[in-house]
A and B are shown apart, each in its own frame.
Chain A
């Protein structure tokens, strides 16, 4: 069974640009969450989508946005990039049966460098 696939794996952007990251969840998984990982702040929750609806949102500015498609694939977008946005962006998916089995499976991440 294929895992969570994130593309691109690495990318370099300059300040002011925007970026779109893609995530394909495990087949059958309907919930997709996004996290930002930095050495200083660790793993921080960005947002979570379920059935194309944002179900939860972290404390990030509006420059960070996301969406989920009908096939559960998800994208996140960061506009007007700042140096501090350099991070590993992790996508995670879950089967979400609503039974309390909160097992998140993470992808390998997209490493964004902002120059």
Chain B
């Protein structure tokens, strides 16, 4: 019940295309859903985050879509660029005072030039 399932494991997209990464969870107590981007040799960096009271959040080319009833959320990267090639992790946590994130297993994105 504490798991966050992420798919696909890897993704190859052409430059300018849309990259879509999906995550699903079981625990309805989760109330914070961030996405992190990690480049080789670096720590994960926060990309965008959403709370369950909104269905969509957009920041530049990155959009989170959230479906509370289906317990699913996804990251959409519009106009994907080679510089977006990285590993992406979804995560979930409970409450505003904890940093015990449950991470998905990651998606390795490669954007072809």
Q: Is the CB of A48 within 8 A of B44?
A: no
Residues of A within 8 A of B42 (CB): 108
Q: Is the CB of B96 within 8 A of A98?
A: yes
Q: Count the B residues whose beta carbon is within 8 Å of the partner chain — how many?
A: 24
Q: Count the A residues whose beta carbon is within 8 Å of the partner chain — how many?
A: 28
A4 on the interface (CB 8 Å rule)? yes
Residues of A within 8 A of B34 (CB): 102, 104
Taken residue by residue from 93 to 106, chain A's Cβ proximity to chain B (1 for < 8 Å, 0 otherwise) reads as 01010111111111
Residues of A within 8 A of B44 (CB): 43, 90, 106
Given contacts A102-B32, A108-B42, 14 further A-B contacts (CB under 8 A): A42-B103, A42-B105, A43-B103, A45-B100, A48-B99, A56-B98, A56-B99, A92-B99, A98-B96, A98-B97, A100-B32, A102-B93, A103-B46, A105-B46
Listed in ascending order, the chain B residues whose CB lies under 8 Å from chain A are: 32, 34, 36, 41-46, 49, 89, 91, 93, 96-106
Listed in ascending order, the chain A residues whose CB lies under 8 Å from chain B are: 4, 31, 33, 35, 42-45, 48, 55-56, 58, 90, 92, 94, 96, 98-109
